[in-house]
């Protein structure tokens, strides 16, 4: 049976408790000097956002009684890579985004060269955080670095982005679209959930459960994103891309009703995959429903 969380186990409550320390850790992760590159890094990492992936890492680790301080390092690293991916995604050579989180895309604020350098710097900072964290054992640090490198590199989101750019939106099949977004979107959710569990020294079986959860969550997230992508959505979602027309879209391929139904099924599957892990899993289960029902 699906674990439908009670109000005292809500993701909103979990986020309220942990977003402050996470924001502090994110602020500490970027340089405070007055250089234009530092300003671009801060603009990307600290711009208004829900910090979903970072909070997934923290929640996954706390599910297995991990140390919150060490989990904040994992969440910060994941969030830095995510912020970098948004910079790249908005470049004219990619989706040609003009609006991100209600603000002009980073390359419009700072220029393409500075935006690219900020993205590269954020990715390197993410791996620096993981590889030098005094809060994590050495073997765990190495494993987390490998997880995040796989998820963000050629086997993961880079391959997904490449396939997305190469796909013909007029001929893309559902299977093709699922493969693209399992990589482009889903892999970072997987890295977050697995990373938190690994940092908490969860068992292989527990890590496998988190992997199933994150794969379903990531795909449901992307389908809802596609459903929210309408001509007048920029004011509501805070993002806009001139290149959206080149991209295959779940809602366009399946129709809105079918896409919404599949997102619902994936949400149920995500919540069910953590149901056996007890009441400490309720924030993660609740998050699946929150993301399904979001309007921005």
Question: Once rounded to an integer, what is the mean pLDDT over residues 214-229?
Answer: 94
User: Looking at the domain covering 7-293, what would its CATH class be?
Assistant: mainly alpha
| pLDDT tens digits for range 272-292 | 999 989 999 999 999 999 999
Question: Once rounded to an integer, what is the mean pLDDT over residues 83-102?
Answer: 92
Given a contact cutoff of 8 angstroms between Cβ atoms, the answer to whether 126 and 158 are in contact is: no
The Cα angle at residue 9 between residues 8 and 14, in degrees rounded to 5: 105
Other CB atoms within a 10 A radius of the CB of residue 139 amount to: 8
Long-range contacts of 85-91 (CB under 8 A, 24+ apart): 85/119, 85/152, 85/157, 85/188, 86/44, 87/44, 87/115, 87/116, 87/118, 87/119, 87/122, 88/116, 88/119, 88/161, 89/161, 89/241, 90/241, 91/115, 91/116
Question: Once rounded to an integer, what is the mean pLDDT over residues 161-176?
Answer: 88
| pLDDT tens digits for range 99-137 | 998 899 999 999 999 999 999 999 999 999 999 999 899
Predicted local distance difference test score (pLDDT) of residue 172: 85
How many helical (H) and strand (E) elements, i.e. helices and strands, does the chain have? 15, 3
Predicted local distance difference test score (pLDDT) of residue 214: 98
Lowest-confidence range among 77-81, 134-138, 242-246?
A: 242-246
| pLDDT tens digits for range 2-27 | 444 444 579 999 999 999 999 999 99
Other CB atoms within a 10 A radius of the CB of residue 288 amount to: 28
């Amino acid at each position: 049976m699906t674990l439908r969380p009670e109000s005292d186990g809500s993701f909103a409550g979990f986020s309220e408790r942990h977003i402050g320390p996470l924001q502090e850790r994110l602020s500490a992760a970027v340089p405070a000097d007055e250089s234009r590159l530092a300003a671009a890094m801060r603009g990307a990492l600290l711009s208004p956002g829900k910090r979903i992936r970072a909070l997934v890492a923290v929640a996954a680790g706390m599910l297995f009684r991990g140390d919150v301080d060490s989990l904040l390092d994992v969440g910060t690293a994941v969030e830095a890579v995510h912020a970098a991916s948004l910079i790249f995604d908005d470049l004219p050579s990619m989706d040609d985004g003009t609006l991100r989180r209600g603000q002009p895309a980073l390359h419009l604020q700072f220029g393409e060269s500075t935006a690219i350098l900020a993205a590269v710097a954020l990715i390197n900072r993410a791996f620096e955080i993981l590889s030098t964290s005094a809060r994590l054992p050495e073997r765990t640090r190495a494993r987390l670095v490998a997880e995040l490198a796989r998820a963000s590199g050629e086997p993961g989101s880079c391959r997904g982005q490449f396939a997305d750019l190469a796909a013909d939106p007029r001929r893309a099949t559902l299977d093709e679209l699922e493969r693209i977004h399992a990589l482009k979107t889903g892999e970072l959710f997987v890295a977050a959930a697995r990373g938190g569990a690994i940092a908490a020294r969860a068992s292989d079986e527990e890590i496998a459960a988190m992997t199933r959860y994150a794969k379903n969550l990531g795909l449901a997230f992307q389908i809802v994103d596609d459903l929210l992508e309408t001509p007048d959505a920029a004011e509501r979602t805070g993002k806009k891309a001139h290149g959206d027309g080149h991209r295959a879209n779940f809602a366009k391929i399946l129709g809105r009703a079918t896409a919404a139904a599949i997102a619902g099924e994936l949400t149920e599957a995500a919540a069910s995959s953590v149901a056996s892990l007890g009441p400490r899993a309720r924030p993660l289960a609740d998050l699946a429903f929150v993301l399904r029902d979001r309007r921005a």
